[in-house]
Amino acid sequence: MASIAVASRHLARGARFVVPLALTAGCLWLVRQQVGDDLPAALPASLSGIGAVNILLALGCVAIGFWAVGRYDGLSHRHFGTRVPPRVARLSGTMAIALAQTLGFGVITGALVRHRLLPGLGFRRALQLSVFVSLSFLAAWLWITALACVALPAPGWTTLPAMVALAGLPLCTGLMAFGPHPRHPRWRAALPTLPALGAILLWAALDLLAAALVLYLLIPPGTLGLGSFVPVFLLAYGAGLLSGAPGGVGPFELVLLSLLPQVPDAMLIGAIMGYRGLYYALPAVLGALALLRPLSLNLPAPPAPRPHGAGRAELGLMRQNGGRVARLGGRDMALWRIGQALVVLPGAAPLATVESLTALQRRARHDNRLACLYKCTAREAALARSAGWQVLRIAQEALLDPQTFDLHQPACRGLRRKLRQAAKAGVLVQQAGVLPLGPMAAIDACWQRRNGPARGGTMGRFCPDYIAGQQVFLAWQDDRLLGFANFHAGAHDRALDLMRLSAEAPAGTMQALVIAALEAARADGSSGFSLAAVPDIPALAHPLLAPMRAPLLARAGAAGLRQFKSGFAPHWSPRYVAAPSRAALALCLADLTREIHHPPALAGGGPLHEGDEEYELAPGRAA
């Protein structure tokens, strides 16, 4: 059975090469049947009829097309973070595509050429780039061809498929961008962002238009209009692309001869021969010469991770959401890469200059993403607005000073009543020495059954490795765990992150957990204490958005959160989101909503790493 399986695999691999060649041979036979026996006599006259000016213009179009191809490969290198210099990435991509489109079997040929030109990249990464370029270009060709078939004179049978593609591809793109996260992290990393897709469409359209003009310039003038030629060319180009044949030879010619009956066969074949010489053979020869010597590649070392401990407490969240601190524009920024955006989170150095925003935009473009500030302060929002960014208020953060907090002030009357209720019920709160992870996991699961799945992204989720780096406070009733609260610990402040209560927890248990953390922060000398933010979006008061206000705030639990946090008489500080344009702001908000309400699965697959429900872990301060 093993030998049969091995033989089957070898036959399948062989078929990948045999089938395109057989398809090419069949199409060429059909072309031969269509053009008849008069072609050899008429072809020389057709070739000699191509003027020198048209050839020079066609050569200019070839240069434009391959310039666009190089930009396409540079974008792919940025997508995968190869750190290859842009010029080297564009040059290697141009040579790879020049050879792959001529030799056929584009994915494998392109990967081999990239590996030869950039040996330090590794074949696996070269193959990944080749697959990404091939699949994304195919999707771009499909949408551009559909648009051309709808907007320009095209064969009637293309209208319905073109309409389906025009509607279906944006829908699929939207689902990829804002739908459920793929389960496997590699699939998440492989999907291009919307800014990358926009650039892919732009460069692919420029390449395809340049290729179409090369062939159009070689057809005798007055034979057919450019508007009716472009859709036919794109259909023929796609037939050759999908065939996998070297240069698309056979299917390309057959489609053109079938759909352009107004052009004499000899003229069309002569133009195609010139097109193949200029757009395929010439670049392929240059690419083959480039293979004689690999490109010089000195990959810069990845930047060393910057420590989180020097910033504010909120930076502790980056241990779970994958963010990191980087230096941009002379400032430390807490960067969080999500699907479509490069988000600056609070916690690092405040943004004080427009140059910092410019550096952020430059870095976001390098990552094929949109720049975004999330939960920034009023001063940072004013700076962004002065730079022409769009700004929206989204929340208010409840802030306390542990050194001056007075539980006996009149504004804390309700808080004192809650604390008395908890004390009367026998609730005892203590800072955790050893974490009882089994009971904590059970409480977290119970809480999620009552309140829905835990949110992520800018909110922590229960995970032993994560909470081990936090300050954790436990609420007990005799020997029964009632709930717990986790706090990020910065150099001079604390920030509430995760709070979970069992269904049987007496009134006042949450308040008791926070007060215990406040007292510990006072003893540590901390000067800041955040109860986290409450949604507050004045823009929803607009008449057009008013129907959405109540459901959105109710889903976020805004009323209950504000009531709970107001009991501590905090200082309310507005928080904003900012992006360079209105469209970018809308996309960033949609992306943030997805990451918060539908986060990807936690690494490790579950909250506990041990099967024993009594498994315990000693917490420690995160670096």
CA–CA separation, 559 vs 371, rounded Å? 31
What are the C-alpha distances in Å from 211 to residues 68, 132, 278, 448?
11, 21, 10, 56
- For 153, counting Cβ atoms within 10 Å of its Cβ (0-12 exposed, 13-18 middle, 19+ buried), the class is middle
Residue type, 248: G
Q: Closest Cα partner for 497 from 464, 479, 465, 472?
A: 472
Q: What is the pLDDT of residue 178?
A: 75
CA–CA separation, 384 vs 61, rounded Å? 41
Strands (E) across 101-204 are located at none
Q: What is the pLDDT of residue 53?
A: 84
Q: What is the pLDDT of residue 295?
A: 75
Strands (E) across 44-84 are located at none
Tokens encoding 250: 């056979």
Q: What is the pLDDT of residue 431?
A: 93
Residue type, 122: G
CA-based diameter of the chain, in Å?
107
CA–CA separation, 558 vs 478, rounded Å? 33
Q: Closest Cα partner for 622 from 451, 492, 465, 448?
A: 465
8 A C-beta contact, residue 20 and residue 104: yes
613: left (phi over 0), alpha (psi -120 to 50) or beta: alpha
Cβ atoms within 10 A of the Cβ of 386, count? 10
Q: What is the pLDDT of residue 622?
A: 39
What is the CB-side half-sphere exposure of residue 568 using CA atoms within 13 A?
29
Q: What is the pLDDT of residue 92?
A: 86
Q: What is the pLDDT of residue 434?
A: 87
What are the C-alpha distances in Å from 491 to residues 281, 347, 530?
64, 11, 14
Paired with 150 in beta bridges are none
Cβ atoms within 10 A of the Cβ of 45, count? 11
Q: Closest Cα partner for 29 from 218, 257, 268?
A: 257
Tokens encoding 122: 């590794």
* Average pLDDT of adjacent 10-residue blocks, the chain of 623 residues: 40 47 52 49 51 85 91 87 85 86 81 86 87 89 93 89 87 76 61 87 93 90 86 92 77 85 80 85 85 72 58 85 86 89 89 90 92 94 95 93 94 94 94 91 92 87 90 94 93 91 93 95 93 83 64 67 90 95 93 88 51 46 39
Tokens encoding 48: 């000699």
CATH numbers and ranges of domains, the chain: 2-178+187-290 (no CATH), 399-575 (3.40.630.30)
